[in-house]
Amino acid sequence: MKALNIPAAWKGDELFNSPYWNYQFSGEEIAEIESTIHTLKESSNQSLEFNKLKKTFAGISEELENGSGVVRLKGFPVKNYSEEEVIAVYMALCGQMGTLVRQSNSDVSSQFINYIKAEQSNDSYKLHTDRGDTISLLCVRQAREGGENLLASAVTIYNEMLQSDPEIAEELFNDLPRIYEGENGWINYPLWHIHKGKFTTQHSGVYPLLSQFISGCPKLTEKQKKGMDLLQEIGQKVGVTLTLDPGDWLICNNHVVYHARSSWKVEKGEYDRLLLGVWYSPFNSRELPDIPAFRTIWGSVEAGKPRGGFLPNHTVPLDQAITEPLSEKEAYWLAEFLKSRFKGVESITALTSGRGLY
């Protein structure tokens, strides 16, 4: 194994060298967003046309896939419109860069949007990725205290670990057991992989630990446990901490960037923290390894195709809402997953005194 010298291998404030870090939407771009809000109010079926934003979105997509893997955009007009209007235009704009994939089988209207607020959870999460090519977060309201985000380059963490603990770093390219909402309740999947020169990671921190509560699941090795601890330790050192302001739009490529968050003080009104989360598969996304583990977790491994998300191998395509009850088999394994997850998280939380799970 050797270190990767690529744009996605950044440390902390080096993100400020990216043209799309703290990118301020121009007056013309904001006008296009607001015009789209009015267009969508008239009809959600109208075709959308962009001029300035089309070029910006192309640059953002390039930065996410072949650059740093993360962008922070500022000035999204969230304060002058209702949440429903903001959600409609936000999802439409994400759709200009890729295909939105569902995150659940809840109400049809909310399968493609995640309301990140205290009613859901205000727990802290350790560095992790979501099961989508990208995680997109739009800040509508921010808490008065807490709610900071931590971002860290997975590539830099790999490079640093390769230098300090090469045997541990190499171990993370081998299969690790992790909890999974499919048959058997667990799956073997590498934390890191390099395919055709492209780095990819999938790490939902506590999931390998939760797999240890499932009968018949392989045991994590001491090297794997050490590797997951080092991932968090190194990420804290090489990452960057930020607080999203209302109107900030953060997008991360989950294949190369880990994200975390702190807990926050719960208040009502102006400081009732609300982020809108979308998962989408970019039109220019990387090809993934065509092996069973990746096909199981992602569904499609082809470049530019919808993948990941909730039940990626369901008969209903990922870009469509599930409107019928799950099959008996799917419902069973999803229930087993949630049962194991709840029981496991409860046990792990007791051991870690609640110091963040992911």
CA-CA distance, 50 to 36, in Å (whole number)?
A: 9
pLDDT by residue (tens digit) across 43-69?
Answer: 777 778 889 999 999 999 999 999 999
pLDDT by residue (tens digit) across 257-290?
Answer: 999 999 999 999 999 999 999 999 999 999 999 9
pLDDT of residue 241: 96
pLDDT of residue 6: 96
The Cα-based distances of 296 to 168, 247, 288 in angstroms read: 26, 36, 12
Give the residue-averaged pLDDT of 23-36: 96
Neighbouring C-beta atoms of residue 331, cutoff 10 Å: 12
Which sign, positive or negative, has the C-alpha torsion 83, 84, 85, 89? Answer: positive
350 has a pLDDT exceeding 70: no
CA-CA distance, 297 to 319, in Å (whole number)?
A: 16
The Cα-based distances of 25 to 44, 96, 107 in angstroms read: 24, 16, 32
Are the C-beta atoms of 33 and 77 separated by less than 8 Å?
A: yes
Given the structure tokens 């789209």, which residue do they identify? 36
Task: List for the chain the helix, strand, coil content (%; round to 5).
Answer: 35, 20, 45
pLDDT of residue 198: 96
Q: Enter the tokens of residue 293.
A: 């583990």
User: Any bridge partners for residue 241, and if so which?
Assistant: 150
Neighbouring C-beta atoms of residue 31, cutoff 10 Å: 14
Give the residue-averaged pLDDT of 123-136: 94
Give the residue-averaged pLDDT of 22-33: 97
Per-position b or e across 202-219, b if 16+ CB within 10 A of its CB: bbbbbbbbbbbbbeebee
Which sign, positive or negative, has the C-alpha torsion 134, 121, 236, 242? Answer: positive
113 has a pLDDT exceeding 80: yes
CA-CA distance, 300 to 123, in Å (whole number)?
A: 32
pLDDT by residue (tens digit) across 153-170?
Answer: 999 999 999 999 999 999
The Cα-based distances of 77 to 32, 193, 201, 243, 252 in angstroms read: 11, 39, 33, 18, 21
Residue 201, phi then psi, degrees to nearest 5:
-130, 155
Neighbouring C-beta atoms of residue 222, cutoff 10 Å: 10
pLDDT of residue 287: 98
- Do the strands 21-24 and 70-74 form a parallel or antiparallel pair, or are they unpaired? parallel
Query: Which of 278, 240, 287 lies closest to 259, judged by CA?
Result: 240
